[in-house]
Amino acid sequence: MRLFSIVTAILVVAALYLMIFDRERVLAIAGRGGEAETTQAAVDESATTPETPSGAVADTLSAVSVVAMRSTAETVDSAVVLRGRTEAARQVDVRAETSGLIVSEPLRKGTFVTAGQLMCEIDPGTRLVALSEAQARLLEAEARLPVAEAGVPEAEARAQEAAARLIEARARVDEALVNENAAKRLKADGFASETRLKAATAALESARAGVDAVEASIKSAQSGIASARSGIETAKSGILSAKAGVAAAEKEIERLRILAPFDGLLESDTAELGALLQPGALCATIIQLDPIKLVGFVPETEMGKVTVGAPAGARLTSGREVRGIVTFLSRSADPNTRTFRVEIEVANADLSISDGQTADILIASDGLTAHLIPQSALTLNDEGALGVRVARDDLARFVPVTILRDTAKGVWVTGLSDSADIIVTGQEFVSDGSAIKVSFREATQ
C-alpha cells in the first residue's frame, strides 16, 4: 500500500512537470495521438464555417486559456515610507555657573516648569558685601570727576594771565631796545655818558629775561591744562572700572538663581537642599516636548522625493496617528548608512507623545501613474526580473514592473502603459509569446 502511494506521487509530480515545463511538447503528442478526432472535428466545423483556415484551427487548439483583467492607470500619492522615532524638540542640562550651597527645595522629576521658573538657588555668602564695596568704589570714582573737571578752567585762567604778562614783557623789551638805541646815538654824538648807555643795555636785558620768564610760566600753565584734562580721563576711567566691578558683583549674585530656560518637563530631580555645587555642576535636565520632532533617515534613492515643508504623517506603536510638516532635511549623508536625516515637527500640546517612541513615517511627494493589481498577478521571467504577463493580440507578453506600494487591496505598480490587459490567472502556465485564449473579469473581483 505504501509503495502504491509513492508510485502515485511520482507519477503526479512527473505529470505536473510535463504540463508546466514541456506543455507544448505534450500538446503536440496529444494532437498526434488524437488525429482522427481532430480531423473529424475539423470536418464538422468546416461544414458550418467553410472560410476558417486549418491553421487557425490548430492555433485555437494549442492556445492556453487564461483570465485577465482590464486595468487603467491612476495617479497615486507616492509617499516616502520611513521607520523612525520621536525626539524632544530641545533637551538641556542646566548647570551652575558659580559655587555654593543649595538653599532651595528640590523639584522632582516629571515636574512641568515654565520659562524663568526658579530651579536651584545658591547661598549668596559674602557676595552682597562684595557688591556694596563695588558700589562704594563707584561713588568715590564719580566724586573725583568734578574735582578733575574744575582743574581745567583754573589752569586755563593761569595760561591766559601768563599770556597777558607775555604781551606786557614784550612791550618792555621794545621800550628798552628803543632806549638803548637812543643812548648809543647820544653817546656817539657826545650828549650822553657811558653810564647811561650801560643802564639802557641792562634794562633791555632785564626786559628780555622777563619775557623768558613769562614764556616759561605759559608753558607751565599749558602743562597744567593737559594735566587737568588727563585727570578728567583718569577719573572717567576710574568710574568705568568701578561700574565694571559693580556689574561683576551683580552678575555673580544673578548666577545664584538658576532658572528654567524654556517650558518643559524635568527629566531629573533638581539639586538637593544643602548640596554643594561647583561651576559646571548639574542642577537638572529639562526637555521640551511641544512641539515634538519625528526623526527618520531617507535613503539616497528617495532623496529627490522629500522637500522641506512637505506634509507628513506617522503612526506610533500605540496606534495613534499624528500629522506634521517636514522642517529639516540634511544635505550631509551619514558616513556609515549613506542616509539623510529628516525631521518633522508635530504638535504635542497634551505632552502625550514621549521622547524616543518608534514611529512609521510617511512623507507626501508628487503623485505617480500606477496600476492596482492583485499581488498574485506578479511573476518572474527567465532572468529573474519581477513583472506581469499581459495579453496582446492573443499572445502573452512579459512586462517588467516596479512595486510602488503594497496595500490591503493589492499592489500599486509602475512600468505598464496607461491601459493594459493583465493576466491574473494562468500566467504561470504561459511564456513570453505563447498563444492564449483570454477571458476577462472585473478589476474589483
For the chain, which domains are there? 2-62 (no CATH), 69-76+368-441 (2.40.420.20), 79-122+262-366 (2.40.30.170), 127-254 (1.10.287.620)
User: Is residue 328 within 8 Å of 291, Cβ to Cβ?
Assistant: no
Q: How confident is the model at residue 152 (pLDDT cuts 50, 70, 90)?
A: confident
Choose between 81 and 22: higher pLDDT: 81
Contacts for 261 with CB less than 8 Å, ≥ 6 apart: 92, 94, 115, 286
Residues of the chain above pLDDT 70, percent: 87
Residue 21 pLDDT greater than 80, yes or no: no
Cα–Cα nearest to 16, from 429, 299, 382, 437: 429
233, 238, 241, 243 alpha-carbon torsion, rounded to 10° = -100
Residue 33 pLDDT greater than 80, yes or no: no
Interval 373-381 mean pLDDT? 91
Q: What is the pLDDT of residues 259-289, one digit of tens each?
A: 999 999 999 999 999 999 999 999 999 999 9
Q: What is the pLDDT of residues 219-261, one digit of tens each?
A: 887 887 888 888 888 888 999 999 999 999 999 999 999 999 9
Interval 89-93 mean pLDDT? 94
User: Is residue 121 within 8 Å of 103, Cβ to Cβ?
Assistant: yes
Q: How confident is the model at residue 28 (pLDDT cuts 50, 70, 90)?
A: low
Q: Measure the CA–CA gap between 235 and 343, rounded to whole angstroms.
A: 57
For 221-225, 371-375, 391-395, 406-410, which range has the lowest pLDDT when averaged over its residues? 221-225
Contacts for 366 with CB less than 8 Å, ≥ 6 apart: 78, 305
Residue 40 pLDDT greater than 80, yes or no: no
pLDDT value at position 53? Answer: 45
Choose between 445 and 224: higher pLDDT: 224
pLDDT value at position 11? Answer: 77
Q: How confident is the model at residue 20 (pLDDT cuts 50, 70, 90)?
A: confident
In whole numbers, what is the pLDDT of the chain averaged over residues?
84
pLDDT value at position 30? Answer: 55
Residues of the chain above pLDDT 90, percent: 47
Q: Is the peptide bond before 50 cis (omega within 30 degrees of 0)?
A: no
For 105-119, 309-323, 337-351, 429-443, which range has the lowest pLDDT when averaged over its residues? 429-443
For 90-94, 182-186, 323-327, 412-416, which range has the lowest pLDDT when averaged over its residues? 182-186
pLDDT value at position 161? Answer: 81
Residue 207 pLDDT greater than 90, yes or no: no
